Amino acid sequence: MSGNRPRIVITGGLGYLGQRIAHFFSLLGADVVITTRGNKKLPKELSRCTLHSLDLSDYNQVLRLLKPNDVVIHLAAPNEIEAGNNVQLAFDGTVIPTYRLLKAGEEKGIKQLIYFSTFHVYGKTSEKTITEETLPAPNHPYSISHKAAEDFCLSAQGKNNITTTVIRLSNAFGAPVSTEITRWTLLVNDLCRQAAADKKIVLNSYGNQLRDFVTIDRVCNALDHMIQHAAECAGVFHVGGETLMSIYEMAQMVQESYLHLKGNQIEISRGEYGRDHVPSPFQYSNAKLRSTGFTYPNDVRKSVEETLRFCIDAFSND
């Protein structure tokens, strides 16, 4: 434990989101342990963290890693593309490791396990305001496996005094810690990389689909809040931005940021308009999280500019 902060163990900590979370807590002075499978190296930006090789399928390895009063932030899982291509991997890589972490955590007396799930567990809900009380209807291996892992987390609540917190995350984005990530297909990352490398943005669709965008800054601060207020943050919580934008509006924001940073206007090309893709406005409510005292803002424009600046530095030929 560093100061009054518990040790933070982050599974999947070398991924896009995991690196940002690890960096955030290391700057706060926490003792951060990143777990990864195989022989990998820490990016220099994460030099304050400790890297630990861990096979989540090996219960004894998990047991040896964990210590009493640890906080485990569990991110390791196949992404939506991997899960869609391999149903067996979706369950073996999402549900079973979560169960093992929970059992080992109970045995070692960890303080809290925070599980990252997804807003996709709601499927194609028609509700205009989506709350934690909205009935989940997962319809894809990615969301079905996450919902199953959620249930294991919730069933472990209070066992040996563990607090389990399930985060249903919306569309998180922000500047990566390093170029050593693979999630350049995520929307904002893709738009910023296109702008930086190609000096234009090409949308595959007309871009009127609506998304709730949340900055990774807000996600990290929500995590810190949930750790500091663990008792109030037990159970399922939305972490979103309550900022509804279309894909085209996000592309326009990247365009405006490029003009601000580089002084040049870039073009946006849109796909054909589809009448079957008329957007249906919704609200991804964070009222439950706010009721615990969480107030950190969701500065979308600032995070877009930071992501674009990162991409210009990394990919621009200027």
Tell me: the pLDDT tens digits for 7-40?
999 999 999 999 999 999 999 999 999 999 888 8
How far is it, in rounded angstroms, from Cα 180 to Cα 248? 27
At 276 the pLDDT is 52
At 2 the pLDDT is 53
Closest C-alpha to 145, from 87, 221, 193: 87
SS3 149: helix
Domains of the chain, start order = 8-172+213-239 (3.40.50.720), 175-212+243-280+292-315 (3.90.25.10)
CA angle (246 as vertex; 243, 249 as ends), nearest 5: 95
Q: pTM here?
A: 0.95
pLDDT along the chain (318 residues), means of 10: 81 96 97 92 94 94 97 96 95 96 97 98 94 96 98 95 97 93 90 97 93 98 98 98 94 98 96 72 96 97 98 89
One-letter amino acid of 44: K
How far is it, in rounded angstroms, from Cα 263 to Cα 303? 19
User: Residue 313's Cα: distance from chain center in Å?
Assistant: 24
Tell me: the pLDDT tens digits for 68-93?
999 999 999 999 999 999 999 999 99
User: Residue 71 has which token pair?
Assistant: 């906080």
Length of the chain: 318
